[in-house]
Structure 1
Amino acid sequence: MQSNEQLLALIENHLAQIEFAAEPELLYAPIGYSLAGGGKRLRPMLTLLGCSLFTDEVQRALPAASAVEVFHNFTLLHDDIMDNAAVRRGKPSVYAKWGQNVAILSGDAMLICAYRLLGEVPPQLLPHILRTFNTMALEVCEGQQYDMDFEQRQKVSVVEYMHMIELKTSALLAGATVIGALLGGASEEDCRKLRRFAVELGLAFQLQDDLLDSYGDQRLGKAIGGDILEGKKTYLMITAMSRAEESARDVLRNAYRDPMLTDAEKIAAVKAIYDRYDIPRLTEQQISLRFERALGILETLSVDPARLEPMREYARGLMGRNK
């Protein structure tokens, strides 16, 4: 089996070798710019790791892994338009650099390129892989719409929020993992288990992202408290709203738009309520629950236990855990 570092190198090499047309430049240049922006390559790594659970011939999964990454980057181009985001991965977003119309059309072209890459998978597996990919893609769109809907609602439950992030975040991880497993020769039962593994891992990953946005280190690459300043309904905010008294809920609802407060004061006011109601610890409990559930599902696969270690190691690294 190849190491996770070797798998990542395979992905980067394959992405670098994808050929896009030179003209029209404003259609294709943003695609190369987006894909060269780095990122964790989380989704294609899960595709290769899913494949490697069942075979050492992971190269067979490279076109599909690249398709998943191209699709993911397509969603980011359109997300940045919806969010009016000027920066992506530390540099100007495609939307900021080239404008809205270019970002829309280049994103559309990226989606088509993703399907073209999928066309390179073995013909006998293509129908199943396409069904998996299409389900994944629609679920991501559904999750994004729910997230947008929540912005207009006064009250969102924890159950509704968890369903939204299962669609918006976990679905792509699950689809990527299952596609890799299919290419590795996994049984339907193991594919079902891997889907559930990736869903739980994705939930843990998103909840950790919610927590780090308010309590992380600025060295992680984004300013602390961004979700609070936007008034986003994160797991922390929704849980606090469900536990707080009315006066505290009023602060949670309105601090981010209070013109009398500085940004630092807005963040401090909301975090003081989080701390009062033990929200960080409750969030950490939920993260641990989801993560341990994911690892437990992984252990039930019908493969040699030694083959589980790269996926287990990758999951731990993703969550910043050593054991």
Structure 2
Amino acid sequence: MSDKVQARERFIGEFDGLVEDLKTILNDYKMPQEAIDWYVRQLYYNTPGGKLNRGLSVIDTYCILTNQKVEDLDKETYKEVAILGWCIELLQGFFLVSDDIMDQSKTRRGQPCWYLVEGIGNIAINDSFMLEGAIYVLLKKYFKSEKYYVDLLELFHDVTFQTELGQLLDLTTADEEVVDLAKFSLDKHSFIVIFKTAYYSFYLPVALAMFVAGITDSKDLKQAEDILIPLGEYFQIQDDYLDCFGTPEQIGKIGTDIKDNKCSWIVNQALKLATPEQRKVLDENYGRKDDEKEAVCKKLFNDMGIEKIYQDYEEEIVSKLRTDISKVDESRGLKGEVFTVFLNKIYKRSK
């Protein structure tokens, strides 16, 4: 078994205990058994099934900051850090269950979206709220006596609101029913990806690990934010690129951004460069549920050299990030290695 698989298995091993904690609280409230069973079922359906990268990043970051290996963490310390990792995965579950309803998506993580499971329907809306609520129940149970407890609460509340702001702009900019490319811009794309993805996927795991490791100076949190937010934006731009130019065999899925009228980095680059004739082609073909029209858009992107523009962007942003990482002030315990690990996972990824 590889180290990566072992790390994932150990992390998953903590989830059962957290579910038991939540069951105990519902029992204390004298919740009927059928409702408890429902909640447990949806916790397992919507939380542990993904890649778990965000949750695992809390543990990895904590280990770097404290000069330890994951396997050397004592049971109690590991559990404490893993709980925060699972809180992010619960937040992710909350976002995905609600997002799938808003987007009318069909599948998630290789299975039907929760709201489409027989007998669920709109109850999934409340289920998403209960995934979020579990975060604060667990934080109270395990961290109330810690001096950074309020910091954890504020961090989760702030990042949740930031993500919802990004979702709002995404939903109002890229309506699948009414295609209007005049609403798109690189500035809007930047706001959407920073607020919808970068804060909760990149900044949140690191900030949580920093609090547990005792690195709480506002200057260090700002250093982390200033590197992780551009890094998260780069990650999403890379995702946009792979959605368009990657093959299904390569990325493990069929790209849908063009058909879904997504305000992606790719189409925004094309809009910036388009001649009136090319703009007309985009207006007539982008955001349509049609294979031939999708192919027209892809050919146009190829003709415009968007792939080369992305490759140039990637080298430029990675060079800047490496420079910024090299300048991290490590005098209070923060380490540039934290950011290098994130960057190395992303750079030139193909899926």
TM more than 0.5:
yes
AA aligned opposite 1:66: W
Q: How many angstroms apart in 1 are the aligned matches of 2:324 and 2:8?
A: 24
Which fold has the larger relative contact order, with Cα–Cα distance below 8 Å and residues 6 or more apart in sequence? 1
Q: How many angstroms apart in 2 are the aligned matches of 1:269 and 1:8?
A: 42
1:145 paired residue number = 168
1:182 paired residue number = 211
1:26 paired residue number = 38
Q: How many angstroms apart in 2 are the aligned matches of 1:234 and 1:159?
A: 11
| 1:232 matches 2:262 | yes
| 1:113 matches 2:134 | yes
AA aligned opposite 1:107: S
Q: Which has the larger radius of gyration?
A: 2
Which residues of structure 2 form unaligned runs of 5+?
Answer: 24-32
SS at match of 1:53: helix
Q: How many angstroms apart in 1 are the aligned matches of 2:131 and 2:5?
A: 26
Change (3 A) 1:183 1:298: farther
1:171 to 174, 199, 217: 199
C-alpha contact (below 8 Å) 2:59/2:82 kept by paired residues = yes
Change (3 A) 1:23 1:194: farther
Q: How many angstroms apart in 2 are the aligned matches of 1:49 and 1:26?
A: 33
C-alpha contact (below 8 Å) 2:330/2:336 kept by paired residues = no
Q: How many angstroms apart in 2 are the aligned matches of 1:233 and 1:85?
A: 17
Change (3 A) 1:217 1:308: same
2:157 paired residue number = 134
Q: Equivalences for 1:7-86 in 2 at 5 Å?
A: 7-19=7-19, 20-21=22-23, 23-24=34-35, 25-37=37-49, 39-55=50-66, 56=68, 59=78, 60-86=80-106
* CA drift at 1:256: 4.0
Change (3 A) 1:14 1:242: same
SS at match of 1:214: helix
* CA drift at 1:271: 1.2
AA aligned opposite 1:169: T
| 1:155 matches 2:183 | yes
Q: How many angstroms apart in 1 are the aligned matches of 2:222 and 2:288?
A: 47
Change (3 A) 1:257 1:129: closer
* CA drift at 1:305: 11
Segment drifting more, 64-73 vs 296-305: 296-305
CA-to-aligned-CA distance 1:243-264 (integer Å, 9 cap, x gap): 10112112212214668xx51x
Change (3 A) 1:201 1:5: farther
* CA drift at 1:155: 2.8
* CA drift at 1:33: 0.9
Q: Equivalences for 1:267-286 in 2 at 5 Å?
A: 267-286=294-313
Q: How many angstroms apart in 2 are the aligned matches of 1:297 and 1:117?
A: 35
Change (3 A) 1:258 1:178: closer
C-alpha contact (below 8 Å) 1:240/1:274 kept by paired residues = yes
Segment drifting more, 196-205 vs 236-245: 196-205
Work out the percentage of aligned pairs sharing the same amino acid.
21
Q: How many angstroms apart in 2 are the aligned matches of 1:54 and 1:129?
A: 18
* CA drift at 1:23: 3.4
Change (3 A) 1:6 1:313: farther
- Runs (4 or more) in structure 1 with deviation over 6 Å come to 303-307
Paired residues in the alignment total: 315
1:287 paired residue number = 314
Per the normalisation by structure 1, the TM-score is 0.87
Per the normalisation by structure 2, the TM-score is 0.81
Which residues of structure 1 form unaligned runs of 5+?
Answer: none
AA aligned opposite 2:149: L
1:223 to 254, 267, 280: 254
* CA drift at 1:156: 2.1
* CA drift at 1:309: 4.6
Q: How many angstroms apart in 1 are the aligned matches of 2:340 and 2:304?
A: 33
SS at match of 1:227: coil
AA aligned opposite 1:277: M
Q: How many angstroms apart in 1 are the aligned matches of 2:117 and 2:347?
A: 32
